[in-house]
Structure 1
């Protein structure tokens, strides 16, 4: 699939460095090794924040600023990395969904970068990052209908399917998924940080999500 970024982002005053990785995976419940990594990642994040709010993290703060410039209130529509961090601060820990989604959430928590993990076979045609228009929406995973106006949005030939806020049910990863598109939403984030996050993603996905033999 080809991937493009809408030229309108050039006029908004912040850099867009998106990472899109492709992996062949076997989807199953997270094993003890990944669960331990998730616990360790949560503890490290708490140490880094030193009791401060998630929004004080420099990376999360920069993504929030990008949301605002695009037209979305980041206090009502929080970047997914902020929502995960707030959950950890509240003592709830990361969700347990499956090994692939859990790995994506761990990357997002550790780096502050919103992550999207999509079933690549459910993405149709070429992909484009744009900004949601008035009236645009999709069915979110466990959230009902999501108002996409003013959010950075991933589109394929069938319409919108992903944002750095919450992803669509249409391209969700489940036990039938064999290939994923792993997206790092580097909005207003230095490219070196996005590249470092991509390396963490590669380590986790190849280490915990390889197809079963």
Structure 2
């Protein structure tokens, strides 16, 4: 039996794991509701997550890959919900609006390009490259906390459940990418698996101090 025999099973597992990964920000949104504000938390992870999911959805539709279509449809909807909650409790609403306008512009230009590009294979390749770039940016975002972690000697600012879910999801999508032999799926998930593994190692090297039960939810701040 070759790897292709496991395509459906791996694709299903990768999709389910990604959906579970997408549920993690619910705890962040719950904290916003309890506090009544987003504080200094950046909306960028939610906005970039939505842009990444929407672009991968477009790529999945162009390729006719059901696993990519399903998971990124769910991902785009959930990220929009998180953005809506963030917007309600955000003291700097204009920043969120500006970011969403930027997302809308990128989406519109991408759709326009796929319409006017006569070479469909080239269009798929270039949209795939854009998807790769956005995914790598999404994976790398938590590492903006690296200097703070080294300075404080604590990984407290990193969300362990999200990091573990990202590692597992990236690994499964990497395997799926090898099965369908798609470099646009393989490349970002090679980097994603590596970056999330690096982040997991920070929990061992710089363990977070014990916290009281009332302060277990951690939020990543992206400047």
Work out whether the TM-score is over 0.5.
no
TM-score, structure 1 length as denominator? Answer: 0.31
Structure number with the higher helix fraction is 2
TM-score, structure 2 length as denominator? Answer: 0.30
